[in-house]
Amino acid sequence: MKRILAAILLAIYGGAIHAVDEITLQALFKDKAIFIIDGSRRVLSTGETSKEGVRLIATDTAAEEAQVEMDGKREIVKLGIVMSGFQPAKQASITLWAGSGGHFYADGSINGLAVRFLVDTGATIVALSGDEAARLGIDYRKKGRPGYANTASGVVRSYSLKLDKVEVGSITLYNVDAGIIEGAFPREPLLGMSFLGQLDMRREGERMELTQR
């Protein structure tokens, strides 16, 4: 009986066991992508897994790329590019050095637009001022969930939302929790734990190393 069951399971899932030879990103939409995987057309929404075991993690229509995962390994697939074999993505990392006052700053981007972050391990999420969000074209009043935040100026209106894409050096994360605080505070976007908590962090004196898991 066990042998029969094993044979049935192998027949059903056998196609997902072998390694994928070729992946092509044929079309790209928000939270959905069309792939050609080993000659078969697959339409995947974010979080879905193909019969071959390829899972769609996120899409980026501006950069014309999709992030996929198979066997726990993640890779970026560019629109129209044929990827032969599925090679594990190298661990992206960046080294930061403390500036004046012992603070760490990092050049990066939010939704493809350049920003300079202040690394803040005490901040629960990535935090931006309303002025900075407006500069980045983030319609936080429409897309965000309203609330309140305590600042040096008192209690002010805030909005919770997800940032489509946050980059620091070669590290890229998608759908990052963030808070928008009305006004001009904080002056620099705070790189909080909704981003940092997904990385391996190592600090030695004035040196901090961030590595993508």
Q: What are the boundaries of each domain within the chain?
A: 2-84, 93-212
Q: Which two tokens stand for residue 110?
A: 């939010």
Percent of the chain with pLDDT over 90: 69
pLDDT digits (tens, 9 = 90+) for 69-109: 887 778 889 998 887 766 555 578 999 999 888 999 999 99
Q: Report the C-alpha gap between 47 and 202 in whole angstroms.
A: 30
What pLDDT, on the 0 to 100 scale, is given for residue 87? 54
pTM exceeding the 0.75 threshold for the entire prediction = no
pLDDT digits (tens, 9 = 90+) for 39-75: 899 999 999 999 988 999 999 998 899 999 887 778 8
Q: Centre a 10 Å sphere on the Cβ of residue 42 and count the other Cβ atoms it contains.
A: 19
What pLDDT, on the 0 to 100 scale, is given for residue 85? 62
Q: How far is CA 167 from CA 7, 40, 195, 197, in A?
A: 46, 32, 9, 14
Single-letter code of the amino acid located at 152? A
Mean residue pLDDT across the chain: 87
What pLDDT, on the 0 to 100 scale, is given for residue 73? 79
Q: Which two tokens stand for residue 181?
A: 């605080």
What pLDDT, on the 0 to 100 scale, is given for residue 80? 84
Taking the domain 93-212, which CATH number applies? Answer: 2.40.70.10
pLDDT digits (tens, 9 = 90+) for 144-195: 999 998 877 788 999 999 999 999 998 999 999 999 999 999 999 999 999 9
Q: Report the C-alpha gap between 188 and 185 in whole angstroms.
A: 8
Taking the domain 2-84, which CATH number applies? Answer: 2.40.50
pLDDT digits (tens, 9 = 90+) for 137-154: 999 999 999 999 887 778
3-state secondary structure the chain: CHHHHHHHHHHHHHHHHCCCCEEEEEEEECCEEEEEECCEEEEEECCCECCCCCEEEEEECCCCEEEEEECCEEEEEEECCEEECCCCCCCCEEEEEECHHHCEEEEEEECCEEEEEEECCCCCCEEEEHHHHHHCCCCHHHHCEEEEEEECCEEEEEEEEEEEEEEECCEEEEEEEEEEECCCCCCCCEECHHHHCCEEEEEECCEEEEEEC
What pLDDT, on the 0 to 100 scale, is given for residue 12? 37
Single-letter code of the amino acid located at 17? I
Fold match flag (2-84 vs 93-212): no
**Which residue's structure tokens are 């309303």?**
130
Q: Which two tokens stand for residue 196?
A: 């940092």
Q: Which two tokens stand for residue 103?
A: 């603070």
